[in-house]
Structure 1
Amino acid sequence: MKKILIQFDTDSLPSSFDRVVAIDSGVDELFSYGGVTPENIEPLIHGAIFTRSAEELSNTAIFISGSNVEAGERLLSKIQDTFFGPMRVSVMIDSNGSNTTAAAAVRCASKHLDFNTTEALILGGTGPVGHRCGQILAAQGATVRIASRSEERAQVTCAEIRHVVPEAKVVPCEFSDEGVAAAVDGINLIIAAGAAGVQFLTGEEVEGIETLKVAIDVNAVPPVGLEGISPTDDAAEVNGATSYGAFGVGGLKMKTHRAAIEKLFTTNDQILNAAEIYNIAGSV
């Protein structure tokens, strides 16, 4: 029986990136739908679960994509509400590539740090990738500072992380020109996950953080978020810290993305979100 992956994209045009990765992951058929909302998805879900027997449904899976993470999460909730009994298929959500990128970035950091004793700073921490980096790190025992130009937005993100990880040690942090010294004081890990072309710290500022052990920048568009880190850095020594650039993280991200799609077809009852995808990243 053929493996069918059904792509539900919240954008009007389904992501070509995600379609290519799906094909490279070995699916036999790929159905892609754009402009999918909680209001129009139900008949598409019924089409996925009523066309094969319960024993055969592991050969069908759903992938949620699109640039809007909140819209993707709403789709996931609607999908789960529509399933019943054995009539369900496995689902992976990776809106904006946030889960696979965050999982790969944190896995890179885990090679060099004990998260139970790690003080981490997430620059751009209220964005989709930064949010999930913070969530994964908190679940692994790290103390995490969620940095944003707006402390109110950082507070909202911290509350959202605590909703998923009740024991999370997360602290909102206003990141401004005047507050850089306080934000970086005592940290061991920086992950820059802000918008493309936004530089957070100069190389001199990074080098001045005496406690810093690992610096990760997931942005490949110049200028990068942490000056001195090249997109191709992969455990390179830069400004006194072990550093990873966007492509250094990206290799693991792509392996994780493909492995997660392959895992969807092992059973029909999986939900692959940030925590599950992080676990997969540790096995590729």
Structure 2
Amino acid sequence: MARSILHMLSPLKHMSPFDINMAVDAGFDVVIPYTGVGLDEIPSLVQDAIFSRAPGEGSRTSVFIAGKSGGLALDMHEAARKAFVPPFALNLFTDPAGAFTTGAAMVAKVKAALRDGHGGDLAGRRVPIFGGTGVVAYCASVLVALEGGKAVLIGYDGAKRVGDIADDIKRRFGVDVGHADGSTQEARRAAIAEAEIILACGRAGVNILDAADLAAAPRLLVAADVNAVPPAGVEGVGAMANGEPFGDGTALAVGALAIGNVKYKTELGLFRRLLATDKPISLDFRDAYKLALEITG
């Protein structure tokens, strides 16, 4: 059998050491990072990889697409897929900044907390998502919308950028995602007034909502936060929180380490899926979500 080779492509200056470690631990024989890769370079790189091996060995070659932009990563994924020349193809896995697997894990953990703690699901729930310009929020908003929830991207610098992201999501996935201003305390409190779920996907070490802010969300059922660096993104949601009550005891908390545990298992599981397949496969955050749901039961 041909050796397993993983080509890791990123438009950034560096490839994530986290992702490299994960790929090596998953069991790839050879892992090669490429940095500063432009969208226009994807087809030639992919075709170099597919034509160097017989069609029957295409599943032993994989391409991982990294970076920090959800839209660009998805464009690179599609450019790679279109570069295939049947029967020549390879495996694709896209997870920019690990955010697709993180977003998938976050939504899966929230869904489990709703099910176990409140006997419900995401359908019809109003879900403001803070850190709305980031890739985790991008991924999470699409997954919430696909589950029938009312995802709303909240912009720390106003509504314009998150509005553009919501338009991009509608174009790509055909789902509606709302957007709102989160640049002031008053705007943030207005954004959570009808919230049943709050997702905090903001920068590490930044408190987005304090206890007084949360008082403006009387219908809150679950709050999840991917920030593991103090202070918490949502006050009262500890990094180790795993579905226990917080605040006045009505809402449940899901913290960064509980999400991270599922994220780690999901990313590792998808890398191993590339190694196990005998036919080329293509994986993105929707595949990550399916696996995260299996992991969370």
What is the percentage of aligned positions where both structures have the same residue? 29
Partner Cα separation in structure 2 for residue 225 and residue 215 of structure 1: 10
In structure 1, what is the equivalent of residue 117 of structure 2? none
Q: Does 1:173 align with 2:180?
A: yes
Aligned pair 1:238/2:246, yes or no? yes
Equivalent-residue separation in structure 2 for 1:164 and 1:214 (angstroms):
28
| Partner residue of 1:255 out of 224, 247, 265 | 265
Q: Distance in 1 between matches of 2:170 and 2:87?
A: 31
Q: 3-state SS of the aligned residue for 2:163?
A: helix
Q: Does 1:209 align with 2:217?
A: yes
Once the two structures are overlaid, the 10-residue window that deviates more, 209-218 or 102-111, is 209-218
In structure 2, list runs of 5 or more residues that go unmatched: 115-119
- Point out the more displaced range, 124-133 or 233-242: 233-242
Between 260-269 and 98-107, report the one with greater CA deviation. Answer: 260-269
Cα offsets for 1:187-234 (capped at 9, x unmatched)? 111000012222111023325522111110001222221012221222
TM alignment of 1:63-142, pairs within 5 A: 63-111=64-112, 112=114, 113-142=120-149
Instruction: Please state how far the C-alpha of 1:109 moved relative to its aligned partner.
Output: 0.8
**C-alpha distance after superposition, 1:66-104 (max 9, x if no partner):** 234444334223212211222111101111111000000
Quick check: 1:9–1:36 contact (8 Å CA) kept in 2? yes
- Give the CA deviation at 1:20: 0.3
Q: CA RMSD in A?
A: 1.8
The 1:145/1:13 distance shift into structure 2, 3 A limit, reads: closer
Aligned letter for 1:160?
D
Partner of 1:192: 200
Give the aligned residue type for 1:106.
V
Whether the aligned pair in 2 keeps the contact of 1:231 and 1:245 (CA below 8 Å) is: yes
Q: Is contact 1:138–1:165 with CA below 8 Å preserved after alignment? A: no
> What are the ranges of 5 or more consecutive residues in structure 1 without an aligned counterpart?
none
Q: How many residues align?
A: 283
Taking structure 2 as the reference length, the TM-score comes to: 0.89
CA displacement at 1:33 relative to structure 2: 1.6
What residue is the counterpart of 2:155 in the other structure? 148
For 2:177, what is the secondary structure of its paired residue?
strand
SS at 1:117 equivalent: coil
The amino acid of 1:8's aligned partner reads L
CA contact (8 A) 1:142 1:169 kept: no
Moved more, 154-163 or 186-195: 154-163
TM-score by length of 1: 0.93
> Retained in 2: the 8 A contact 1:229–1:238?
yes
Instruction: Please give the alpha-carbon distance, in whole angstroms, between the structure 1 residues aligned to 2:102 and 2:83.
Output: 28
CA distance in 2, matches of 1:155, 1:40: 29
Report if aligned partners of 2:58, 2:89 keep a CA contact under 8 Å in 1. yes
**Counterparts of residues 17-96 of structure 1 (less than 5 Å):** 17-96=18-97
Q: Deviations over 1:37-92 (max 9, x none)?
A: 23434443223211221111111111111234444334223212211222111101
Determine if the alignment matches structure 1 residue 15 to structure 2 residue 16.
Answer: yes
**Counterparts of 2:128 and 2:206, CA distance in 1:** 16
